Structure 1
């Protein structure tokens, strides 16, 4: 069983799209987080989702939140994806699927693809929203933004 609402997200480390070390402890306790797991760079649904987060990124940051996208793609793939679509937020490479397992993200599409799940946490890392929907990729953005607005107002 994966994370539930009210759980604290686990500590994790990964490489970002520039090959830099990312440590979740550098953000937990400081700002609310939107952590979204997606199947694959440069696929139609994942691109639409990433561009949706890009287009509303300022709305998230104006509320003090940070957006983090995670997939099992390589650092190089993330760099190309990020540059191609001018993504302003953090993309993390989870090539071993260790972070996905820590969160308990289920597989999507009859177990054939990695799942698409968005977690929203308050600034202390407590999960306030879990949106698990592989088919409605762009719906994740509005759900996450609504959740962030509720905790900062």
Structure 2
């Protein structure tokens, strides 16, 4: 997958944990979107990442940004994850991995000698004009949210 930085972000509409449709276009002209793709609800790395975003949620909000998580899990799984961890943002259902494929994060993965298709942890910062201003692929959770926040602070100052 080619680098999306500097390009228009692929448009999408996905269901959130409440079954409501959420589109990238909903935020056009108004908000920055921190779109993060993660493999699975309530797994160790994904929980740490979600909680780090939760703990920095106010800082992102002050910079006019909305956080959206995307995984193949269904609404019920997302709802339970949100309730268990007190997440203040929506999680979107990409059960057919169509959006993950558009963003180039649906990849062949290997784990303990087993190969399977799944999400490669990635984050995209999209400006109000719908352009990807920064992307992080193959994300390592530790320090990632701070990096994303710092990048957003620099962009919004410019």
Q: If the length of structure 2 is used for normalisation, what is the TM-score? A: 0.90
Alignment-derived partner of residue 26 in structure 2: 26
Q: Is the Cα contact below 8 Å between 2:38 and 2:46 reproduced in 1?
A: yes
More deviation in 70-79 or 142-151?
A: 142-151
- Measure the CA separation in 1 of the matches of 2:64 and 2:119: 29
Alignment-derived partner of residue 125 in structure 1: 130
- Measure the CA separation in 1 of the matches of 2:25 and 2:3: 18
- Measure the CA separation in 1 of the matches of 2:30 and 2:142: 27
Equivalent residue runs for 1:56-95 within 5 Å: 56-95=56-95
Alignment-derived partner of residue 121 in structure 2: 116
With over 3 angstroms needed to count, the CA separation of the structure-2 counterparts of 1:29 and 1:3, relative to structure 1, is: farther
2:152 to 132, 141, 148: 148
Q: Which 4+ stretches in 1 moved above 4 angstroms?
A: none
SS in structure 2 of the partner of residue 133 of structure 1: coil
1:35 partnered with 2:35: yes
More deviation in 25-34 or 73-82?
A: 25-34
- Tell me how large the CA RMSD over aligned residues is: 1.5
Instruction: Give the deviation of 1:139 after TM superposition.
Output: 2.8
Query: Higher strand share goes to which structure?
Result: 2
Q: Which has the larger radius of gyration?
A: 2
Instruction: Give the deviation of 1:20 after TM superposition.
Output: 1.0
What stretches of structure 1 of length at least 5 have no aligned partner? none
Instruction: Give the deviation of 1:14 after TM superposition.
Output: 0.7
- Measure the CA separation in 2 of the matches of 1:58 and 1:108: 35
- Measure the CA separation in 2 of the matches of 1:106 and 1:139: 23
